[in-house]
Amino acid sequence: MKIVLIGYRGSGKTTIGKHLATALNVPFIDTDHLIVSQAGMSIPEIFHKEGESGFRLRESRALKEALMLGRGVISTGGGIVLRPENRILIRTADLVVYLTAPVSILAERIRGDKNRPALTNLSLEEEIHTLLKERSPLYEELADLKIDTSTIDVNQAVAIILKKTQRKDLCNEALPS
């Protein structure tokens, strides 16, 4: 059973993914964490030294590796859907959960976070608005389940995902992973 969480920066992929994996008692992998540990550099350092393209290359490798795991919860970075090869890989998961929130809430959650380098020269709200125009259709096309995390807390989001996994019978240990 593999669950992949997608969505914009600050939508809650890392936070909810961790709680979900604990609830399901399965491994948790965050592609950003994997990239940082493999590179021995922080995300801003990778962006600085290798550019966004260098980061995206590392991200595709990390996703491939994460999906090789028999089962688990995989939280991704917000830009993972940009590469077609990543979208093909994400489709191999048993369940793809798309986390959303309004632009103002996303901005509030990520403002001032030094670990999330700017992706454009725009103001934060403008950046989110602009990038979502490109990314939203990609998130939508992959999603089996879409959850707005601005109106519920982490535990409620986890409960919704758990319910969906039960409906899909993904937690049946008798099934091959």
Ligand X SMILES: O=C(O)C1=C[C@@H](OP(=O)(O)O)[C@@H](O)[C@H](O)C1
Please state the residue numbers annotated as binding site for Mg(2+): 14
Q: If contact means CB under 5 to 8 A according to the sort of partner, which of ligand ADP, ligand X, Mg ion, none does residue 15 touch? A: ligand ADP
Collect all residues with Cβ–Cβ distance below 8 Å to 105 and sequence separation of at least 6.
10, 150
Q: Residues 93, 84: contact at Cβ < 8 Å?
A: no
Determine which residue in the list 1, 21, 29, 32 makes contact with ligand X, applying CB under 6 A: 32
Binding of ligand X at residue 77 (CB under 6 A)?
A: yes
Contacts 24+ apart (CB under 8 A), 163-169: 164/95, 164/97, 165/1, 165/3, 165/24, 165/95, 168/94, 168/95
Radius of gyration in angstroms for the set of CA atoms belonging to the chain, rounded to a whole number:
16
Residue from 98, 99, 116, 170 that binds ligand X (CB under 6 A)?
116
Element spanning 174, H or E: none
**Residue 173: HSE in the Cβ half-sphere, 13 Å Cα cutoff:** 3
Which is closer to ligand X, CB of 72 or CB of 79? Answer: 79
Stretch that binds ligand X, among 75-83, 88-96, 137-145, 150-158 (CB under 6 A): 75-83
Answer whether 151's CB lies under 8 Å from 105's CB. no
Applying CB under 5 A, does 14 fall inside the site for Mg ion?
yes
- Asked whether position 97 contacts ligand X by CB under 6 A, the answer is no
Q: Where on the chain is the footprint of ligand ADP (CB under 6 A)?
A: 7, 9-16, 75, 109, 149, 152-154, 157
Q: Where on the chain is the footprint of ligand X (CB under 6 A)?
A: 9, 13-14, 32, 43, 77-79, 116, 119
Q: Where on the chain is the footprint of Mg ion (CB under 5 A)?
A: 13-14
